A and B are shown apart, each in its own frame.
Chain A
Amino acid sequence: MEPTTELPETLPPALVERLRRLDRSQPIVDPRTDRAVLAQATEFFHARPRRAAVRMRWALPLGTAAALLLVAVLMRPLLLDAPGADDIDGSGRVDILDVLALARDRAARGDAAGISDARIEELAYRIVALDSSRSLP
């Protein structure tokens, strides 16, 4: 904050000097008080490392849990889209041949196969979408 200078604040130097001298005439520095205040401060602030230690004790488990959660989130598409359910022809991979296998199965068994058009289209769409994301050789 800068001193405000809106008012004409003037005091004769002799008066200012006298005021200062009255106020500061007797230095009363006391080493015992210094030691007492600073010892109290040291004791006070040493209450904090304990809190930090508590935080540190939980830091490792919390960090591990966070890392596991992150891995789970990142792996989710792979886990949920495991080839088992869509690998119709049992080749170990999901590709357009699985769509054909699904279509053939439906054509052969009809409604008894329990395969809807929507199911075939959905699988075909996903495979095409996956293929289009790959870079061409």
Chain B
Amino acid sequence: MIDRRSDDELVAICNVGDAIEAARAFETLYRRHRDFVLRVARRFTRDRDLALDALQETFTYLLNKFPPAGDGLTLTARLPTLLYPAAKNAAITAARKARRFAGPGDEFLDKLPAEPVAEGEPIDAALDALSPERREVLTLRFVDDLSLAEIAVALEVPLGTVKSRLPLALKELREDSRIKDLFEP
């Protein structure tokens, strides 16, 4: 059965509910946002197992916001905007650890591109040409459907930065000769 309670309601139960209620509310939050966190983690690790580690780490971080470990959580923005930086940091940390402990023969980890490029796909090549910052904003806007204000919260940058990065990313794509025809009406 789908739990239709809002994230705010579930967070409130995690803050003060009894053990069973709180665990159920947390499970709903986990199932609701797990795929988003996994997607984010994969973007920064490009590895399934590392992404799963980051997923677990992200929800441990969320768990520790609630009593008795934390003071309690008050959502001032949508939960994904809180989870995004946690997932990103956990993913980057997991990827760094993997590189640090990479044994002989694992050098390929250092050579992983930011995103896989499919040869002969002009769209992929154009997207790959974007800087990581611009691509990140583009992905948050058009894949994760976050508003500009939410992106600013998720990236922990001023709204003005997002407002300048997104048009620059769009402009760069529009001016890319490989996909120019996509923008023509």
In the complex, are the beta carbons of A12 and B182 less than 8 A apart?
yes
Task: Across the interface, name the chain B residue whose C-beta is closest to A28.
Answer: B48
Known pairs A27-B35, A38-B23; list 19 more (Cβ under 8 Å).
Answer: A2-B147, A3-B145, A6-B163, A7-B167, A10-B170, A11-B170, A14-B123, A14-B182, A15-B123, A15-B127, A15-B182, A18-B123, A29-B35, A29-B38, A33-B55, A41-B23, A41-B63, A44-B66, A45-B26
Contact stretch, chosen from B2-10, B86-94, B135-143: B135-143
Interface residues on A, range: 35 or more
A-B pair number, CB within 8 angstroms: 121
In the complex, are the beta carbons of A28 and B143 less than 8 A apart?
no
Does any Cβ of A come within 8 Å of B155's Cβ?
Answer: no
Contact stretch, chosen from A48-56, A58-66, A99-107: A48-56
The residues of B that contact A49 with a CB separation of less than 8 Å are 18-19
Candidates B52, B139, B150; contact of A23 at CB < 8 Å = B139
A-to-B contact residues, CB < 8 Å: 1-4, 6-7, 9-12, 14-16, 18-20, 22-24, 26-30, 33-34, 36-38, 40-42, 44-49, 51-52
In the complex, are the beta carbons of A40 and B23 less than 8 A apart?
no
> Could you tell me the distance between the alpha carbons of A6 and B164 in the complex, rounded to whole angstroms?
12
In the complex, are the beta carbons of B78 and A1 less than 8 A apart?
yes
Interface residues on B, range: 35 or more
Task: Across the interface, name the chain B residue whose C-beta is closest to A11.
Answer: B142
Does any Cβ of A come within 8 Å of B109's Cβ?
Answer: no
In the complex, are the beta carbons of B30 and A41 less than 8 A apart?
yes
Candidates A12, A23, A30, A44; contact of B143 at CB < 8 Å = A23
Given A1-B150, A44-B63, CB of A9 within 8 Å of CB of B166: yes
Candidates B19, B30, B66, B138; contact of A19 at CB < 8 Å = B138
Task: Across the interface, name the chain A residue whose C-beta is closest to B53.
Answer: A33
Task: Across the interface, name the chain B residue whose C-beta is closest to A46.
Answer: B19
Task: Across the interface, name the chain A residue whose C-beta is closest to B153.
Answer: A1
Given A9-B166, A18-B124, A22-B124, CB of A42 within 8 Å of CB of B23: yes
Shortest Cβ gap from B170 to chain A (Å): 7
Task: Across the interface, name the chain A residue whose C-beta is closest to B69.
Answer: A44
In the complex, are the beta carbons of B69 and A28 less than 8 A apart?
no
